[in-house]
């Protein structure tokens, strides 16, 4: 047992010195290899943190959202519907919500206006998302003027900026007091944009939704889990598309690796011949060569992953942001939270170490079966 | 004792460029003597050496080493036997460039997985014995021809083989170094080791150290004469 | 719409690559079965012998890949559970269509087949005349179709993932009221399951101890290992899991792999799979102990495999026992 370990140590020792002796060639390989890992890992880490962000935000969202549908179009929903649904088992809270989009021609972007439920705001006070604050150059105490439903501009005083942690969805948000919002949009009392229901037991959500469609046939319940599913599917799909696009790069890398592994220099060929002649066995040479490949893979994997980690979590993934986030003018500047998981690592393995090893398998074997007596010819 | 029975070796079998290097050769070699294979180039002496030294398997025929048939052994086992029985010195010495002298000497023992300090000590001992004790950490490309050969002999001896095999060992050496080589061979003989040499160098062939000569031509043995008996 | 994500892409590519790699291996196996002649020193035979190095490297690589793919497959199923109505963990996703469970089963089967092959190869390489070569390549010919089938079934599994389908998760699949094999296993009363679980354990440990003591009985040990593997899986679903989750009706073989349960599942599955694979190796060593050139090697290899397998089994059952003992759950019908 100990002897076996000692043996592998000799092989590692030899492969390290063999790598060092062909520094130029191996550094080139390491660079390309790390680059591939970096690209793939960046995409994965980035979407993964987006997905987590979305999930974290939706965690606070209500389990069920009820919209009124009039002739297939979403319409305001009367407050009376809250009474009409009566008391449903499992629903711990239900209330109406008031919100709407507002297009600001000044920066050609849509704001989301909502009632501030957790904050006490004066009639002309608003809280704004960080994206708006950046785009319009606003700080607390500044005034923001928006054209209301009566066509006249209304001025609001910025009371504060929403916290940065929620920026992925609060970037374009404006919160104001309920009466101000009703006045701004011209929504009469007794009507809401939609209704929300909180259900504590996830197993009861579907049952509640089914009952709602019977009780209120002109409404559509939207489940939080469905939104989450859609988000997940979209993120997965985008990530998948990027991976497919990166396939070309991957293929190029495989060919490159194959070429490097099979294009042994005369010197290398002679070295293997010498090893075979002085008492190394085919299996020993294969083992040594795989340590070589393994060491390169490990270095490239660590290096590429580390760079991707820095890129995504400390440089905000500036290379991919536009592709993967796909937001409009009000770009959320978000700081992804670092995450590492087994799914990612295993997937990454299949996109880097696996093709590399497969590409070098045959060349390594071909080198290893060099005849021991070749050095005598 | 190494015994060969009806050995043939064919290269490129079944192809138009088929080449028969050895024709039905039978002979015996004493394991504790100094034996010389000689003959013109292309006579098959190097092929014969590689068969005797377990570097290659014969196409047909049998080879016995101390009574054990080894000609049908696959490479995996042949390598084991080769490592423990034979040490090789090649014509161009074939040291691995970029490695230090002592690393080169230790190389054949790597697959055995011996404890590192023990192996290193053994390698250093061998190098000291052949006057290379001051150059352990030197890179091999800085060695002179004679030093490189002595290094190659140390490497051949690292696994303490019973027989040293040398292929044209003096082709790149001048007369003084050739005599030095013969002195080393004599010393090994004194330690009870056998030596098999291929050469067409008259200095070697005429040396009193040679105890048996096998003359080859066109893949066949021409005659045998014992020089000392 | 079929679901496209990197993990699915990776699994599909890996299955495709391994399948393709096994194609020449299968052709080579056929050649070995027809042309192998250890006594010959012909170039054809030397060529065949050289190729065996490539094939065994290939199988070792495929084995490593299959192992990581098995993990990735489960992770991915776990991660996809948000996309299917009714799926709360990997079980639900595997249930999305009829190909999920067969894929998993094939992956496990290939894992053991490849492990057996590698151990057989290791043993064969100790015999100077490579006495098991034909048998080895016969086995490889049997493994190759498994790999191809797995690639096909897995592709069907991914292509037929319909997010509209409401799937059933561990709650309903592994419930006593359900139907099908999974429900049968879960429907097994915890008491019987516990008896089977520890019965299988005692049997395999007993057979192993006997083998170590008397130096015979490698084949019964291997059979005991297979039995222990099956009863252990049944035991995890219908008995150990309940204690881990501390919930009398939560039967799920995958949720124990999650962080929420301290990844304890790895502590159970890794030694169980490794020990079972080694038990198979011990069985094959025992089966070939009379081959003249392998007599010494088979005894040595068998002993080594059994020792390691025993460590794995002892670990597995000790951990299982500890999980039950430290749990706050009391299943009255089990203990009295």
Q: How confident is the model at residue A172 (pLDDT cuts 50, 70, 90)?
A: confident
Instruction: Specify whether C174 is located in the same domain as C163.
Output: no
Is residue B225 scored above 50 in pLDDT?
no
**Residue A172 sits in a domain of what CATH number?**
2.40.40.20
Are B195 and B34 in contact by the 8 Å Cβ rule? The answer is: yes
* Residue to test with chain A: of B84, B106, B110, B158, most A Cβ within 10 A: B110
The Cα of B228 is separated from the nearest Cα of chain A by a number of Å equal to 29
Is residue C85 scored above 80 in pLDDT?
no
Q: Which of B10-14, C82-86, C206-210 has the lowest mean pLDDT?
A: C82-86
Are C284 and C224 in contact by the 8 Å Cβ rule? The answer is: no
Over pLDDT 70: what percentage of chain C?
90
- Record: contact C39-B59, CB cut-off 8 A: no
Neighbours of B27 (CB within 10 A): 16
Q: How confident is the model at residue B226 (pLDDT cuts 50, 70, 90)?
A: very low
* Residue to test with chain B: of C41, C124, C127, most B Cβ within 10 A: C41
Chain C residues with a Cβ under 8 Å from any Cβ in chain A: 3-11, 13-14, 17, 21, 50, 53-54, 57-58, 61, 65, 68-69, 71-72, 75-76, 78-79, 82-85, 163
- Record: contact A350-C3, CB cut-off 8 A: no
Q: In total, how many domains does chain B have?
A: 1
Partner residue facing A283 (CB), from B76, B82, B155: B76
Mean pLDDT of A77-104: 85
Query: Cα(A146)–Cα(A155) distance, rounded to whole angstroms?
Result: 6
What pLDDT, on a 0 to 100 scale, did the predictor assign at position A288? 94
- First CA to last CA across chain B, in angstroms? 17
Residue B54 Cα distances to A29, B28, B138, C127, angstroms: 37, 15, 31, 18
Mean pLDDT of B217-228: 69
- Does A136 reside within a domain? yes
**Residue B216 sits in a domain of what CATH number?**
3.40.50.300
Q: Cβ-count burial of C177 within 10 angstroms (0-12 exposed, 13-18 middle, 19+ buried)?
A: exposed
Q: Cβ-count burial of C132 within 10 angstroms (0-12 exposed, 13-18 middle, 19+ buried)?
A: buried
Is residue A265 scored above 90 in pLDDT?
no
Question: Element (H or E) spanning C46, and its range?
Answer: helix C43-80
Output the DSSP codes for C119-156: HHHHHHTTSTT-TTHHHHHHHHHHHHHHHHHHHHHHHH
Instruction: Specify whether A251 is located in the same domain as A330.
Output: yes
The Cα of A103 is separated from the nearest Cα of chain C by a number of Å equal to 33
Residues 6+ apart with CB under 8 A from C231: C196, C197, C199, C200, C201
Residue C306 Cα distances to B126, C127, C282, angstroms: 43, 20, 6
- Record: contact B76-C46, CB cut-off 8 A: no
The answer, for A3 touching chain B at a CB cutoff of 8 Å, is yes
Instruction: Specify whether A234 is located in the same domain as A340.
Output: yes
What pLDDT, on a 0 to 100 scale, did the predictor assign at position A325? 57
Residue A162 Cα distances to A113, A116, A119, A158, angstroms: 13, 11, 11, 11
- Domain of residue B87 covers 2-226
What pLDDT, on a 0 to 100 scale, did the predictor assign at position C73? 92
- Which residues of chain A have a CB within 8 Å of the CB of B80? 281
Query: Cα(C75)–Cα(C325) distance, rounded to whole angstroms?
Result: 28
Q: Cβ-count burial of C94 within 10 angstroms (0-12 exposed, 13-18 middle, 19+ buried)?
A: buried
Query: Cα(B30)–Cα(B49) distance, rounded to whole angstroms?
Result: 14
- Sole residue written with tokens 């064969």: C124
What pLDDT, on a 0 to 100 scale, did the predictor assign at position C172? 58
Neighbours of B11 (CB within 10 A): 15
Choosing from C135, C168, C201, the residue where a domain stops is C168
Q: Select, from the ranges A53-67, A122-136, C41-55, C267-281, the one with the highest average predicted confidence (pLDDT).
A: C267-281
Backbone angles phi, psi at A211, to 5 degrees: -65, -40
Partner residue facing A343 (CB), from C9, C65, C75: C75
Query: Cα(C336)–Cα(C332) distance, rounded to whole angstroms?
Result: 6
The answer, for B192 touching chain C at a CB cutoff of 8 Å, is no
- Domain of residue A312 covers 2-58+229-376
Mean pLDDT of A76-95: 84
Is residue B187 scored above 90 in pLDDT?
yes
Per-residue buried b or exposed e for A345-367, using 16+ beta carbons within 10 Å of the residue's own CB: bbbbbbbbbbbbbbbbbbbbbeb
Residue C80 Cα distances to C94, C157, C158, angstroms: 10, 13, 11
Are C39 and B72 in contact by the 8 Å Cβ rule? The answer is: yes
CA dihedral C317, C318, C320, C326 (to 10 degrees): 160
* Residue to test with chain A: of C57, C122, C125, most A Cβ within 10 A: C57
What pLDDT, on a 0 to 100 scale, did the predictor assign at position C78? 84
Instruction: Specify whether A239 is located in the same domain as A297.
Output: yes
Are A171 and A115 in contact by the 8 Å Cβ rule? The answer is: no
Q: In total, how many domains does chain A have?
A: 2
- For strands A191-192 and A194-199, give the pairing: unpaired
Instruction: Specify whether A9 is located in the same domain as A126.
Output: no
Report pLDDT digits (tens) over A202-217. Answer: 777 878 888 888 888 8
Query: Cα(B116)–Cα(A337) distance, rounded to whole angstroms?
Result: 47
Report pLDDT digits (tens) over A107-136. Answer: 888 888 988 877 788 888 899 988 888 888
- Record: contact A7-B116, CB cut-off 8 A: no
Instruction: Specify whether C295 is located in the same domain as C216.
Output: yes
User: Can you read off the two tokens belonging to residue B160?
Assistant: 């303490």
CA dihedral A90, A92, A94, A100 (to 10 degrees): -100
Q: Which of A158-172, A255-269, B117-131, B133-147 has the lowest mean pLDDT?
A: A158-172
Is residue B190 scored above 80 in pLDDT?
yes
Instruction: Specify whether C140 is located in the same domain as C180.
Output: no
The answer, for B74 touching chain A at a CB cutoff of 8 Å, is no
Residues 6+ apart with CB under 8 A from A147: A153, A154
The closest of C318, C281, C317 to C301, measured between CA atoms, is C281
What pLDDT, on a 0 to 100 scale, did the predictor assign at position A327? 47
Over pLDDT 90: what percentage of chain B?
62
Instruction: Specify whether C32 is located in the same domain as C126.
Output: yes
Between C295-326 and C264-287, two packed helices, what is the crossing angle to 10 degrees? 150
User: Over chain A, what is the mean pLDDT?
Assistant: 85
Choosing from C152, C168, C184, the residue where a domain stops is C168
Residue C224 Cα distances to C106, C120, C310, angstroms: 21, 19, 12
Instruction: Specify whether C123 is located in the same domain as C189.
Output: no
Instruction: Specify whether C110 is located in the same domain as C136.
Output: yes
Output the DSSP codes for C168-208: --HHHHTSTTS-SHHHHHHHS-HHHHHHHHHHHHHHHHHHH
Instruction: Specify whether C115 is located in the same domain as C187.
Output: no
What pLDDT, on a 0 to 100 scale, did the predictor assign at position B229? 36
Of residues B112 and C89, which shows the higher confidence score?
Answer: B112
Q: How confident is the model at residue C152 (pLDDT cuts 50, 70, 90)?
A: very high
The answer, for A98 touching chain B at a CB cutoff of 8 Å, is no
- Record: contact B13-C43, CB cut-off 8 A: yes
- Does A92 reside within a domain? no
CA dihedral A349, A355, A356, A362 (to 10 degrees): 140
What pLDDT, on a 0 to 100 scale, did the predictor assign at position C260? 77
Is residue A8 scored above 90 in pLDDT?
yes
DSSP code for B193:
-
What pLDDT, on a 0 to 100 scale, did the predictor assign at position C103? 94
What pLDDT, on a 0 to 100 scale, did the predictor assign at position C283? 94
Query: Cα(C45)–Cα(B74) distance, rounded to whole angstroms?
Result: 10
What pLDDT, on a 0 to 100 scale, did the predictor assign at position C241? 83
Partner residue facing C38 (CB), from B10, B13, B72: B72
Hey, is C300 helix, strand or coil?
Answer: helix
Mean pLDDT of C219-231: 94
Is residue B215 scored above 70 in pLDDT?
yes
Instruction: Specify whether C18 is located in the same domain as C151.
Output: yes
Which spans in chain A are helix H?
Answer: 2-21, 23-59, 80-84, 130-136, 167-170, 178-185, 205-215, 224-262, 266-277, 282-313, 321-325, 342-351, 353-368
- Sole residue written with tokens 């020193």: C41
The Cα of C72 is separated from the nearest Cα of chain A by a number of Å equal to 6
Mean pLDDT of A88-113: 85
Instruction: Specify whether A270 is located in the same domain as A370.
Output: yes
Instruction: Specify whether A164 is located in the same domain as A237.
Output: no
Query: Cα(C59)–Cα(C61) distance, rounded to whole angstroms?
Result: 5
- For strands B60-65 and B2-11, give the pairing: antiparallel
- Does A327 reside within a domain? yes
Of residues B170 and C248, which shows the higher confidence score?
Answer: B170
Within 13 Å, how many C-alpha atoms sit on residue C265's CB side? 20
- Record: contact C49-B75, CB cut-off 8 A: yes
Helices (H) and strands (E) in chain B, counts: 7, 10
Is residue B227 scored above 60 in pLDDT?
no
Report pLDDT digits (tens) over C109-143. Answer: 999 999 999 999 999 999 988 999 999 999 999 99
Instruction: Specify whether C17 is located in the same domain as C109.
Output: yes
- Does A68 reside within a domain? no
Neighbours of A231 (CB within 10 A): 18
Q: How confident is the model at residue C317 (pLDDT cuts 50, 70, 90)?
A: very high
Chain C residues with a Cβ under 8 Å from any Cβ in chain B: 38-39, 41-44, 46, 49-50, 125, 128-130
Instruction: Specify whether C174 is located in the same domain as C274.
Output: yes
All partners of chain A with 3 or more CB pairs under 8 angstroms: B, C
The answer, for A371 touching chain B at a CB cutoff of 8 Å, is yes
Which spans in chain B are helix H?
Answer: 45-52, 75-85, 101-106, 116-129, 145-157, 175-190, 202-205
What pLDDT, on a 0 to 100 scale, did the predictor assign at position C178? 53
Query: Cα(C173)–Cα(C205) distance, rounded to whole angstroms?
Result: 32
Mean pLDDT of B10-30: 89
Query: Cα(A296)–Cα(A291) distance, rounded to whole angstroms?
Result: 8
Hey, is A60 helix, strand or coil?
Answer: coil
Choosing from A155, A186, A217, the residue where a domain stops is A186
Could you say which residues from 140 to 159 on chain B have a Cβ atom under 8 Å away from some Cβ of chain A? Answer: 155-156, 159
Minimal-distance CA residue of chain A relative to B91: A376
The answer, for A123 touching chain C at a CB cutoff of 8 Å, is no
* Residue to test with chain B: of A281, A284, A288, A376, most B Cβ within 10 A: A376
Report pLDDT digits (tens) over B67-112. Answer: 899 988 888 899 999 999 999 999 888 999 999 999 999 999 999 9
Is residue B168 scored above 70 in pLDDT?
yes
Q: Cβ-count burial of C102 within 10 angstroms (0-12 exposed, 13-18 middle, 19+ buried)?
A: middle
Of residues C19 and A121, which shows the higher confidence score?
Answer: C19
Per-residue buried b or exposed e for C152-166, using 16+ beta carbons within 10 Å of the residue's own CB: ebbbbbbeebebeee
Neighbours of A98 (CB within 10 A): 19
Are C140 and C114 in contact by the 8 Å Cβ rule? The answer is: no
- Record: contact A232-C10, CB cut-off 8 A: no
Instruction: Specify whether C111 is located in the same domain as C21.
Output: yes
- Domain of residue C43 covers 1-168
Is residue C192 scored above 90 in pLDDT?
no
Instruction: Specify whether A346 is located in the same domain as A233.
Output: yes
Q: In total, how many domains does chain C have?
A: 2
Instruction: Specify whether A166 is located in the same domain as A277.
Output: no
- Which residues of chain C have a CB within 8 Å of the CB of B10? 43
Report pLDDT digits (tens) over C257-311. Answer: 887 787 888 899 999 999 999 999 999 999 999 999 999 999 999 999 999 999 9
Instruction: Specify whether C156 is located in the same domain as C189.
Output: no
Of residues A372 and B121, which shows the higher confidence score?
Answer: B121
Instruction: Specify whether A181 is located in the same domain as A125.
Output: yes
């Amino acid at each position: 047992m100990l002897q076996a370990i000692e043996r592998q140590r000799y092989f590692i020792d030899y492969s390290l010195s063999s790598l060092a002796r062909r520094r130029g060639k191996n550094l080139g390989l390491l660079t390309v290899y790390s680059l591939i890992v970096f690209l793939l890992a960046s995409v994965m880490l980035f979407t993964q943190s987006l997905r987590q962000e979305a999930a974290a935000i939706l965690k606070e969202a209500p389990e069920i959202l009820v919209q009124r549908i009039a002739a297939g179009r979403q319409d305001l929903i009367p407050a009376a519907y809250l009474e009409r649904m009566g008391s449903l088992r499992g629903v711990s809270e239900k209330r109406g919500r008031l919100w709407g989009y507002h297009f600001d021609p000044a920066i050609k972007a849509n704001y989301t206006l909502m009632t501030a439920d957790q904050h006490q705001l004066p009639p002309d006070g608003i809280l704004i998302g960080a994206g708006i604050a950046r785009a319009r150059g606003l700080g607390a105490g500044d005034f923001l003027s928006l054209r209301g439903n009566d066509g006249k501009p209304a001025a609001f005083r910025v009371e504060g900026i929403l916290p940065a942690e929620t920026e992925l969805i609060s970037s374009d948000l404006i919160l104001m007091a309920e009466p101000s919002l009703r006045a701004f949009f011209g929504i009469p009392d007794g009507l809401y944009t939609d209704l929300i229901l909180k259900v504590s037991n996830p197993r009861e959500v579907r049952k509640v939704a089914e009952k709602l469609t019977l009780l209120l046939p002109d409404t559509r319940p939207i489940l939080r889990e469905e939104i989450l599913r859609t988000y997940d599917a979209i993120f997965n799909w985008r990530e998948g598309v990027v991976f497919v696009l990166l396939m070309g790069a991957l293929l190029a890398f495989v060919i490159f690796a194959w070429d490097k592994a099979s294009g042994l220099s005369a010197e290398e060929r002679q070295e293997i011949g010498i090893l075979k002649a002085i008492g190394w066995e085919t299996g020993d040479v294969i083992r040594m060569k795989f340590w070589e490949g393994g060491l390169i893979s490990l270095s490239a994997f660590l290096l590429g992953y580390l760079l991707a980690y820095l890129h995504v979590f400390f440089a905000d993934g500036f290379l991919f942001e536009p592709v993967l986030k796909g937001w409009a003018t009000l770009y959320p500047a978000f700081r992804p939270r670092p995450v590492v998981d087994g799914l990612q690592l295993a997937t990454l393995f299949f996109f880097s170490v696996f093709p590399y090893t497969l590409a070098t398998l045959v060349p390594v074997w071909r080198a290893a079966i060099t005849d021991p007596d070749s050095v005598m010819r | 004792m190494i015994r060969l029975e009806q050995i043939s070796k064919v290269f490129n079998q079944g192809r138009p460029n088929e080449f028969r290097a050895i024709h039905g050769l039978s002979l015996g070699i004493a394991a504790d003597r100094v034996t010389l294979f000689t003959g013109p180039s292309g006579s098959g002496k190097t092929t014969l050496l590689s068969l005797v030294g377990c570097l290659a398997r014969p196409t047909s025929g049998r080879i016995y080493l101390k009574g054990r048939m080894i000609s049908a052994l696959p490479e995996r086992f042949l390598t084991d036997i080769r490592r423990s029985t034979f040490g090789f010195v090649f014509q161009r010495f074939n040291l691995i460039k970029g490695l230090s002298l002592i690393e080169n000497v230790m190389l054949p023992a790597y697959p055995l997985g011996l404890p590192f300090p023990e192996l290193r000590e053994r390698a250093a001992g061998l190098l000291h014995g052949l006057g290379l004790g001051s150059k352990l950490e030197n890179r091999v490309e800085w060695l002179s021809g004679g030093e490189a050969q002595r290094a190659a002999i140390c490497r051949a001896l690292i696994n303490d083989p019973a027989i040293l095999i040398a292929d044209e060992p003096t082709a790149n050496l001048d007369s003084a170094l050739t005599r030095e080589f013969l002195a080393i061979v004599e010393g090994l003989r004194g330690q009870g080791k056998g030596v098999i040499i291929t050469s067409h160098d008259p200095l070697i062939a005429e040396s009193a150290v040679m105890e048996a000569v096998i003359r080859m031509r066109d893949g066949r043995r021409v005659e045998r004469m014992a020089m000392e008996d | 719409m079929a679901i496209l994500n990197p993990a699915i892409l990776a699994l599909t590519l890996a299955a495709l690559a391994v399948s393709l790699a096994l194609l020449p291996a299968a052709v080579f196996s056929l050649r070995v079965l027809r042309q192998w002649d250890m006594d010959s020193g012909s170039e054809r035979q030397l060529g065949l012998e050289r190729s065996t190095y490539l094939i065994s490297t290939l199988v070792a690589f495929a084995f490593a890949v299959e192992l990581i793919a098995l993990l990735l497959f489960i992770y991915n199923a776990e991660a996809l559970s948000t996309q299917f109505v009714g799926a709360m963990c990997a079980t639900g996703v595997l249930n999305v269509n009829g190909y999920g469970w067969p894929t998993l089963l094939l992956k496990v089967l290939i894992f053991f087949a490849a492990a057996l092959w590698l151990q057989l190869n290791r043993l064969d390489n100790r015999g100077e005349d490579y006495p098991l070569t034909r048998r080895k390549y016969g086995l490889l010919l049997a493994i190759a179709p498994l790999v191809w089938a797995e690639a096909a079934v897995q592709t069907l599994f991914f292509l037929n993932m319909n997010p509209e389908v409401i799937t059933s998760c561990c709650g309903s699949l592994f419930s006593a009221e359900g139907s099908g094999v999974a429900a049968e296993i879960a429907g097994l009363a915890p008491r019987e399951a516990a008896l089977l679980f520890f019965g299988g354990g005692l049997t395999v440990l007993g057979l192993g101890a006997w083998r170590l003591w008397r130096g015979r009985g490698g084949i019964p040990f291997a059979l005991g290992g297979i039995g222990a593997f099956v009863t252990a899986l049944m035991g995890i679903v219908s008995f150990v899991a309940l204690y881990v989750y501390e919930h009398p009706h939560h039967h799920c073989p995958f949720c124990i792999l999650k962080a929420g349960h301290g990844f304890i599942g790895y502590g159970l599955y890794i030694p169980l799979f490794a020990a079972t694979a080694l038990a198979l190796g011990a069985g094959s060593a025992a089966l070939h102990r009379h081959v003249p050139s392998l007599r010494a090697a088979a005894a040595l290899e068998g002993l080594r495999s059994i020792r390691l397998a025993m460590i794995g089994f002892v670990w597995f059952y000790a951990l299982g026992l500890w999980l039950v003992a430290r749990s706050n759950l009391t299943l009255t019908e089990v203990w009295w």
